[in-house]
């Protein structure tokens, strides 16, 4: 390519002859003369990079005419006019860093004797022929602007280069690293940064461990048969994942044959995550589809369950609906895991980063790098246990996901009535929760309670599901505490709360994190710091769960063989209210009964009609909230106390009649009394039950002994917590 000219407004000019391997020769269809749009002295031949008059600076660059860039097609267009920039970076102090402050959160340390000169262009990504990806798009969206900036490192020791020479060399060496040959042609110390909005793709094999939550319905059979499910099973699922948003691709030539390639998520921006589970789309049932794998993961006798399900005569359409629900649940679970890791604070700032030994690459390695530079990292991420020669994964966002932080939750509503998973599927429905990704396998009656005609088939209504799960948990934990649930000892019962907020204010975020603080998963100081970190947090999903084994369930109702008192549960309920209201809130008057035992006694004495007279001057809406707290606490305390009496009687009978069977008349009476009582509890469940209050009240009543975890995932925030000293029996998502 012929020489072109750079000039400034002081009539100083500089001739540049591009290096043969540079992008100017390899990819630019034409090159125009450039002009610096300022009176800077970048072209002053009398100045060096060590000159005290040189300070860190940036100036715009004008192209005299548009430039087309590409290989066999035009991938990028650099417009005429102001479409580029020059900059000079001089370190100030021993801790100086390039890109500081860095919106991609990974500044590069710069030695005191080093200088960086950069040349960058801003281009528009062009549409190519149908089906053609283009080699210079890096996954950026067609029509979007993308920047390409080269940073060349110079040393002022032993002698500093002249400023015009550094400018000339930086421009002549301008690279767009679209292939292996471009990486080889980079100079040691050269950094190329490409930024834009687009999509990154990658693949992963997920080993999904199933967190099974067996839940009872109000109508229970007598006697209860053994429930044929297990904990800790797993299912392997392939997933193709696409991230859409603003990102940066950074290429750093560390040494002659060593390149560091990294992909960064821009701080403060959001990636939209799309997941496609690539297994189990047929309308048949077998060992390799999603339904079959789920059955194997959860059933204590998967062969018997599978044989039974094959005999049911489910139509292809019915099986397909089940497969679709399972697939949607798996996809949402992985989506939340990826979103959490994208937004989590971590030492490794890049979403993906690789060290590439250019001298050790094989043909598959070269193809994988080429695809990665096109925005598709699938060949690099699909099998991290078998890395490609010459490529070392320094970090990827699945690192912490592999540490089993996320669960595929499966709620089996009504499993006690059927005993076998296949029978529950045959007689009920398989539904997914679009908020949390949880799967719900339930009987038909319960299915009608948690779905709405206005939503798609197989999709739960979050509000209805939350209430049903809460009341079902209360019934289940009672049977669990009575030691007559038919559950294997390893199985636990989970109590969950979840909420989706499209626009999360500071107040809403504080309210959600109040639950994490109450569960001893976060301290108040950390909560306050997070809430104050931004004025608004966009869309968020909050999820909290507590888990109860048979021993904790028993202590929830019976202590030293005696039933817990009404006052015991009232105190737990009031403490739960105190966890959710703050001094200074508009409804802070709700805290008064939690701090004044005499006031609470007066409220019980006068009942609902007289409560408003105990709070003179308190606004009517707040009085209404106080009355709601009173009603919910009293109803719950009475229901729990009555349940504890019946459980204590059953446990006393079992301790004195260890060989009594299910047909023993005295035992049958006790069991029927418990069942009738629990049906009444379910029928009278308050509308507010299913809010975080009930989760906290029961957790407090358990002595805070239950396993617990919480998860807050949003477009710009991610918190996944569980106590180190309280192991969860529920497994989590692991990606291998």
Torsion sign over Cα 481, 482, 486, 489: positive
Instruction: Output the DSSP codes for 219-277.
Output: S--SSPPPP-B-SS-EEEEEEEEEEEEEEEEEEEEEETTEEEEEEEEPTT---EEEEEE
Residue 212 inside a domain? The answer is yes
Q: Are residues 170 and 207 in the same domain?
A: no
Helix (H, G, I), strand (E, B) or coil at 155: strand
Mean pLDDT of 226-253: 88
My answer on whether 168 and 228 are in the same domain is no
Structure confidence at residue 732 (pLDDT): 31
110: domain range? 4-176
- Could you tell me if 172 and 207 lie in one domain? no
Count the domains in the chain: 2
Alpha helical stretches, state H, 77-201: 163-172, 180-185
Q: What percent of the chain has pLDDT over 90?
A: 47
CB 141 within 8 Å of CB 182: no
Name the residue among 518, 479, 438 with its Cα closest to residue 708.
518
Q: Are 6 and 33 in contact (CB under 8 A)?
A: yes
Residue 711 has pLDDT above 60, yes or no: yes
pLDDT of 351 reads 87
Within-domain flag for 446: yes
Helix (H, G, I), strand (E, B) or coil at 376: strand
Of 479, 493, 474, nearest to 670 (Cα)? 479
What number is the average pLDDT over the span 261-278? 85
Beta strands 439-443 and 408-413, pairing class: parallel
Do 513 and 368 lie in a common domain? yes
Q: What is residue 734's predicted lDDT score, i.e. its pLDDT?
A: 29
Tokens 């750079």, residue located: 6
> Regarding predicted confidence, which is higher, 327 or 716?
327
Query: Is residue 623 situated within a structural domain?
Result: no
- The average pLDDT across 6-29 equals 91
In this structure, are residues 341 and 163 in contact, taking their beta carbons and an 8 Å threshold?
A: no
Q: What is the pLDDT of residues 149-206, one digit of tens each?
A: 999 999 999 999 999 999 999 999 999 999 999 999 999 999 999 999 999 998 887 7
Check pLDDT > 60 for residue 282. Answer: no
Q: Tell me the pLDDT band of 644, cut-offs 50, 70 and 90.
A: very high
What's the pLDDT score for residue 134? Answer: 63
Q: Which range in 79-88, 211-220, 290-299 is most confidently predicted, on average pLDDT?
A: 79-88
My answer on whether 119 and 220 are in the same domain is no
From first CA to last CA, the distance across the chain in angstroms is: 48
Residue 181 lies in a domain: no
Q: Which of 205-214, 319-328, 621-630 has the highest average model confidence (pLDDT)? A: 621-630
Residues 227 and 307 in one domain: yes
pLDDT of 400 higher than 70: no
**Average pLDDT value for residue range 248-275:** 90
Q: What is the pTM of this model?
A: 0.86
Query: Which contacts of 99-106 are long-range, i.e. CB under 8 A and separated by 24 or more positions?
Result: 103/266, 103/267, 103/268, 104/248, 104/250, 104/264, 104/265, 104/266, 104/267, 104/349, 105/264, 105/267, 105/349, 106/250, 106/262, 106/264, 106/349, 106/350
How confident is the model at residue 730, as a pLDDT?
33
Q: Give, to the nearest 10 degrees, the angle between helix 620-656 and helix 566-580.
A: 140
- Asked if residue 15 belongs to a domain, the reply is yes
Q: Are residues 401 and 541 in the same domain?
A: yes
Domain boundary among 176, 211, 243: 176
Neighbours of 255 (CB within 10 A): 11
Q: Which residues make beta-bridge pairs with 413?
A: 215, 442
Respond yes or no on whether the N-terminal peptide bond of residue 101 is cis (omega within 30° of 0).
yes
Statement to judge: residues 285 and 170 lie in one domain: no
Neighbouring-strand partners of residue 245: 198
Structural domain ending residue among the three candidates 120, 141, 176: 176
Quick one: which H or E segment has residue 501? strand 493-501
Residue 451 has pLDDT above 90, yes or no: no
Average pLDDT, the chain: 86
Phi-psi region of 81 (alpha: psi -120 to 50; beta: other; left: phi over 0): left
Whole-number Å distance between alpha carbons of 59 and 40: 8
Instruction: Give me the pLDDT at residue 560, please.
Output: 86
Query: 68 pairs with which residues across the strands?
Result: 77
Indicate the SS3 state at residue 439. strand
- Residue 604 covered by a domain: no
> Over 70: is that where the pLDDT of 344 sits?
no
237 plus 141 within the same structural domain: no
Q: What is the dihedral of CA 217, 219, 222, 224, to 10 degrees?
A: -10
Phi, psi of 677 (to 5 degrees): -65, -45
**652-681 mean pLDDT:** 83
Judge whether 147 lies within some domain. Answer: yes
Strand-strand pairing, 258-265 and 352-357: antiparallel
Q: What are phi and psi of 679, to 5 degrees?
A: -65, -40
In a domain, 501, yes or no: yes
166, 173, 394 from 5: Cα distances, Å: 15, 15, 41
pLDDT in tens, 576-623: 999 999 999 999 999 999 999 999 999 999 999 999 999 999 999 999
Could you list the beta-strand ranges (E) of 534-668.
540-548, 558-559, 562-563
Whether residues 101 and 218 share a domain: the answer is no
Considering the domain architecture, whether residues 159 and 203 belong to the same structural domain is answered as no
Domain termination site, one of 141, 176, 211: 176
Condensed to tens digits (0 to 9), the pLDDT of residues 507-531 reads 999 999 999 999 999 999 999 999 9
Same-domain status, 167 and 71? yes
Q: Angle at CA 171, nearest 5°, toward 169 and 176?
A: 120
């Amino acid at each position: 390519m012929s020489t072109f000219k750079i000039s400034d407004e002081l009539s100083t000019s500089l001739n540049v002859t591009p290096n043969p391997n540079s992008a100017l020769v390899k990819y630019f269809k034409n090159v125009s003369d450039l002009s610096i749009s300022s009176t800077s002295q970048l072209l002053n031949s009398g100045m060096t990079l060590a000159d005290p008059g040189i300070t860190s600076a940036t100036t715009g660059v004008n192209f005299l005419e548009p430039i087309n860039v590409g290989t066999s097609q035009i991938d990028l267009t650099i417009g005429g006019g102001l479409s580029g920039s020059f900059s000079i970076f001089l370190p100030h102090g021993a801790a100086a860093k390039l890109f500081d402050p860095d919106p991609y959160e990974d500044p590069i340390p710069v030695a005191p004797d080093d200088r960086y000169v950069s040349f960058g262009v801003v281009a528009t990504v062009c549409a190519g022929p149908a089906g053609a990806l283009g080699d210079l798009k890096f996954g950026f969206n067609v029509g979007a602007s993308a920047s390409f900036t080269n940073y060349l490192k110079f040393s002022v020791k032993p002698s500093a280069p002249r400023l015009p020479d550094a400018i000339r060399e930086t421009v002549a060496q301008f690279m767009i690293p679209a292939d292996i040959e471009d990486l080889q042609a980079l100079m040691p110390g050269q950094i190329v940064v490409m930024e834009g909005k687009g999509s990154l793709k990658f693949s992963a094999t997920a080993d999904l461990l199933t967190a099974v939550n067996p839940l009872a319905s109000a109508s229970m059979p007598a006697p209860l048969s053994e429930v044929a499910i297990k904990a800790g099973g797993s299912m392997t699922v392939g997933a193709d994942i696409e991230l859409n948003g603003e990102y940066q691709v950074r290429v750093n030539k560390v040494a002659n044959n060593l390149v560091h390639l990294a992909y960064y998520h821009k701080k403060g921006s959001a990636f939209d995550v799309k997941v496609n589970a690539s297994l189990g789309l047929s309308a048949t049932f077998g060992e390799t589809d999603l339904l079959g794998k789920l059955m194997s993961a959860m059933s204590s006798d998967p062969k018997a369950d599978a044989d039974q399900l094959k005999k049911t005569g489910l139509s292809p359409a019915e099986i397909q609906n089940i497969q679709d629900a399972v697939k949607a649940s798996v996809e949402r679970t992985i989506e939340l895991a990826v979103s959490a890791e994208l937004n989590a604070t971590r030492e490794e700032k890049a979403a993906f980063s690789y060290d590439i030994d250019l001298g050790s690459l094989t043909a598959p390695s070269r193809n994988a790098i080429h695809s990665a530079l096109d925005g598709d990292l699938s060949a690099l991420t699909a099998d991290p246990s078998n890395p490609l020669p010459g490529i070392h994964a320094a970090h990827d966002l699945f690192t912490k996901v592999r540490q089993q932080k996320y669960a595929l939750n499966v709620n089996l509503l009504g499993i006690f009535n059927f005993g076998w998973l296949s029978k529950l599927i045959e007689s009920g429905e398989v539904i997914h929760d679009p908020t949390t990704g949880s799967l719900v396998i339930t009987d038909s009656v319960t299915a009608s309670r948690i779905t709405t005609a206005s939503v798609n088939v197989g999709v739960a209504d979050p509000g209805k599901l939350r209430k049903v799960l809460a009341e079902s948990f209360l019934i289940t934990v009672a049977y669990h505490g009575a030691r007559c649930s038919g559950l294997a000892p390893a199985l636990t019962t989970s109590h969950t709360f979840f909420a989706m907020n499209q626009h999360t204010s500071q107040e809403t975020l504080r309210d959600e994190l109040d639950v994490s603080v109450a569960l001893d998963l976060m301290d108040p100081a950390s909560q306050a710091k997070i809430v104050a970190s931004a004025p608004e947090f966009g869309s968020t999903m909050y999820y909290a769960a507590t888990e109860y084994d048979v021993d904790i369930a028993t202590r929830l109702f019976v202590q030293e063989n005696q039933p817990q008192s009404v006052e015991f549960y009232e105190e737990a309920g009031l403490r739960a209210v105190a966890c959710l209201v703050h001094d200074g809130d508009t409804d802070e008057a709700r805290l008064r009964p939690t701090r004044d035992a005499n006031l609470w006694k007066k409220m019980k004495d006068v009942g609902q009609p007289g409560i408003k007279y105990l709070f003179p001057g308190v606004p009517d809406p707040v009085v209404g909230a106080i009355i709601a707290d009173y009603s919910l606490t009293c109803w719950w305390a009475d229901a729990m106390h009555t349940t504890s009496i019946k459980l204590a009687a059953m446990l006393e009978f079992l301790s004195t009649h260890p060989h009594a069977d299910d047909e023993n008349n005295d035992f049958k009476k006790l069991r029927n009394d418990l069942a009738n009582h629990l049906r009444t509890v379910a029928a009278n469940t308050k509308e507010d039950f299913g809010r975080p209050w009930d989760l906290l009240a029961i957790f407090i009543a358990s002595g805070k002994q239950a396993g617990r975890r919480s998860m807050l995932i949003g477009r710009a925030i991610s918190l996944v917590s569980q106590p180190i000293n309280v192991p969860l029996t529920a497994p989590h998502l692991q990606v291998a």
